[in-house]
């Protein structure tokens, strides 16, 4: 963008041309022979999105140059060392040392590949976040962006959901209309699966915590279940997570939860308290289970909202209230079956 230009005065007798007729280009009627070759109007092919935006995930991205240098350096040095040892062993016919150095080289290669994979997966997560932003801001041709999104979600060209979307989409649809259709045909089935998964897994977590005998075990359970849930939701939207990207995402989800609007937290907390009140009617263990289940559910919903390629519209957004009752009912069942 240029800076807004300041006001400027011209004297009236300054020589001036006719009023410049810029920017209003009006194309007159054009007629073509009906026999002229014409093709059906197709939407433009998707251009490569290489937006300079680098607001990956929720927080500003900073490269860990130190860590990267350390890791990359040790790997390179390790490799050099292994090759060097091998050469000496070869010359000295020291077979044992040679075998060790081959093994060492192999180990270094493995570590390097792992590091590369991690970096690649992290990049994919960032790219997903960027694309999501571009679609949201209507940055470019919506249809092209959605096509890109389809590819990222790992859907083939003849995926039935995508085909249903293509069938519904018409040339004259505007950006908003196109996105509504995409959300309905491509995302809604995945949203439903994600929601089912959150319900199921939070219920399972609640029950596991309720019947587990050890507090330490509870904590391990929670960590394991929650990471697993985040993983599965990401997979639904075509994201495969590595260790680093999983942690990055998990951290982003937690930050996001912590910074969610104060009012939202307040209402959610009071509702939780209310259900805790109800939980008074449950045993302590079941009450703890309910708390953990709710936390898992909340985390799951938050992940869903963060990863879904298009933001939820007001009416579709999943709410925690629906899950709460289900959880409580499940836990009452546990209490009945397991008199303490």
Partner 1 sequence: MALTLPQNLNDLLERTLDRQVRLAVTGLSQAGKTAFLTSLVNQLRHAGLDARLDLLTPVREGRILGAQRINQPDLSIPRFPYDEGIAALSSAPPRWPEATRGISELRLSIRYRSRTRSRHLLGEQAQLTLDLIDYPGEWLLDLPLLKLDYLQWCERMAELMTERRKHYAAPFLDAVAVLDPTMDADEQQLAELAARYAGSLHKARNEGGYTYVQPGRFLLPGELAGAPVLQFFPLPDLGDADRERFAALPAQSIYKTLEARFEHYKRTVVGPFYRDYFRRFDRQIVLVDVLSALNAGPDVFGDLRLALSTLMQSFDYGRRSLVNRLFNPRIDRLAIAATKADHVTPEQHPRLLSLVEALLAEPIKDLRYADVPVRAFSLAAIRATEARTVAGNADQQQPVLKGTTQDGEDVLLFPGDVPEQLPDADFWQRQGFTFTSFRPAPFTASSALPHIRMDAALDWLLGDKLR
Q: Which stretch binds partner 1 (CB under 8 A): 39-47, 123-131, 204-212, 238-246?
A: 39-47
SS3 at position 263: helix
Binding to partner 1 (CB under 8 A): which residues in 286-325?
322
State the minimum distance, in angstroms, from the CB of residue 38 to partner 1: 5
Q: Which of 41, 67, 91, 216 contacts partner 1 by CB under 8 A?
A: 41
- Total residues contacting partner 1 by CB under 8 A comes to 30
Does the footprint of partner 1 cover residue 5 (CB under 8 A)?
A: no
Q: Which of 1, 12, 30, 91 contacts partner 1 by CB under 8 A?
A: 30
Sign of the torsion formed by the C-alpha atoms of 293, 296, 297 and 298: positive
Of 3 and 25, nearer to partner 1 (C-beta) is 25
Of 26 and 67, nearer to partner 1 (C-beta) is 26
- Between CA 150 and CA 155, with CA 154 as vertex, the angle to 5 degrees is 60
Of 2 and 27, nearer to partner 1 (C-beta) is 27
Q: Which of 10, 11, 13, 32 contacts partner 1 by CB under 8 A?
A: 32
Does the footprint of partner 1 cover residue 172 (CB under 8 A)?
A: yes
Binding to partner 1 (CB under 8 A): which residues in 173-192?
173-174, 177, 180-181, 184, 192
State the minimum distance, in angstroms, from the CB of residue 305 to partner 1: 19
State the minimum distance, in angstroms, from the CB of residue 140 to partner 1: 15
Q: Which of 21, 62, 63, 336 contacts partner 1 by CB under 8 A?
A: 21
> What are 211's two structure tokens?
């019947």
Q: Rounded distance, CA 282 to CA 291, Å?
A: 12
Of 171 and 277, nearer to partner 1 (C-beta) is 171
SS3 at position 35: coil
Query: Quick check: 26 and 20 in contact, CB under 8 A?
Result: no
> What are 162's two structure tokens?
């995508």
Of 124 and 173, nearer to partner 1 (C-beta) is 173
**How would DSSP label each residue in 95-135?**
HHHHHHHHHHHHHHHHHHHHHHHHHHHHHHHHHHHHHHHHH
Question: Closest Cα partner for 142 from 168, 180, 190, 184?
Answer: 180
Query: Quick check: 135 and 142 in contact, CB under 8 A?
Result: yes
Of 45 and 261, nearer to partner 1 (C-beta) is 45
Q: Rounded distance, CA 337 to CA 262, Å?
A: 39
Of 188 and 217, nearer to partner 1 (C-beta) is 188
Does the footprint of partner 1 cover residue 37 (CB under 8 A)?
A: yes
State the minimum distance, in angstroms, from the CB of residue 141 to partner 1: 11
State the minimum distance, in angstroms, from the CB of residue 157 to partner 1: 20
Q: Rounded distance, CA 154 to CA 148, Å?
A: 10
Cβ-Cβ contacts under 8 Å for 183 (sequence gap 6 or more):
310, 313, 316
- Between CA 292 and CA 302, with CA 298 as vertex, the angle to 5 degrees is 145
Does the footprint of partner 1 cover residue 326 (CB under 8 A)?
A: no
Query: Quick check: 72 and 266 in contact, CB under 8 A?
Result: no
Residue ranges of E strands in 180-239: none
Query: Quick check: 112 and 75 in contact, CB under 8 A?
Result: yes
Of 182 and 237, nearer to partner 1 (C-beta) is 182
Does the footprint of partner 1 cover residue 214 (CB under 8 A)?
A: no
Of 154 and 321, nearer to partner 1 (C-beta) is 321
Query: Quick check: 108 and 74 in contact, CB under 8 A?
Result: no
**Would you tell me which residues interact with partner 1 (CB under 8 A)?**
21, 24-34, 36-41, 168, 170-174, 177, 180-181, 184, 192, 322
């Amino acid at each position: 963008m240029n800076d807004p230009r300041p006001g400027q005065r011209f004297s009236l007798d300054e020589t001036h041309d006719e009023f410049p007729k810029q920017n209003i280009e009006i194309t007159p009627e054009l007629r073509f022979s009906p026999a002229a070759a014409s093709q059906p109007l197709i939407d433009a092919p998707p251009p490569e999105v290489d937006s300079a935006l680098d607001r990956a995930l929720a927080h500003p991205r900073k490269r860990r140059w130190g860590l990267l240098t350390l890791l990359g350096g040790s790997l390179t040095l390790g490799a050099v060392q292994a090759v060097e040892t091998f050469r000496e062993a070869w010359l000295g016919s020291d077979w044992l040392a040679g075998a060790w150095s081959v093994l060492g080289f192999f180990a270094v290669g493995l570590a390097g590949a792992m590091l590369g994979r991690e970096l690649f997966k992290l990049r994919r997560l960032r790219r997903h976040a960027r694309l999501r932003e571009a679609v949201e801001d209507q940055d470019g041709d919506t249809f092209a962006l959605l096509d890109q999104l389809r590819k990222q979600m790992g859907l083939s060209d003849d995926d039935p959901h995508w085909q249903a979307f293509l069938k519904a989409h018409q040339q004259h649809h505007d950006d908003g209309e196109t996105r509504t259709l995409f959300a309905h045909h491509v995302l809604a089935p995945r949203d439903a699966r994600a929601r089912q998964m959150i319900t199921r897994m939070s219920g399972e977590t609640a029950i596991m915590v309720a019947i587990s005998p050890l507090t330490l075990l509870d904590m391990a359970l929670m960590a394991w279940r929650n990471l697993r849930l985040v993983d599965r939701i990401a997979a639904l939207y075509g994201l495969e997570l590595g260790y680093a990207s999983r942690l990055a995402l998990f951290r982003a989800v937690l930050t996001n939860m912590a910074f969610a609007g104060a009012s939202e937290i307040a209402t959610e907390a009071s509702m939780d308290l209310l259900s805790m009140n109800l939980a008074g009617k449950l045993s302590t263990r079941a009450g703890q289970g309910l708390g953990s289940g709710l936390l898992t559910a909340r985390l799951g919903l938050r992940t869903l909202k963060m990863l879904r390629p298009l933001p939820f519209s007001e009416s579709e957004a999943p709410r925690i209230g629906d899950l709460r009752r289900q959880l409580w009912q499940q836990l009452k069942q546990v209490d009945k079956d397991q008199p303490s």
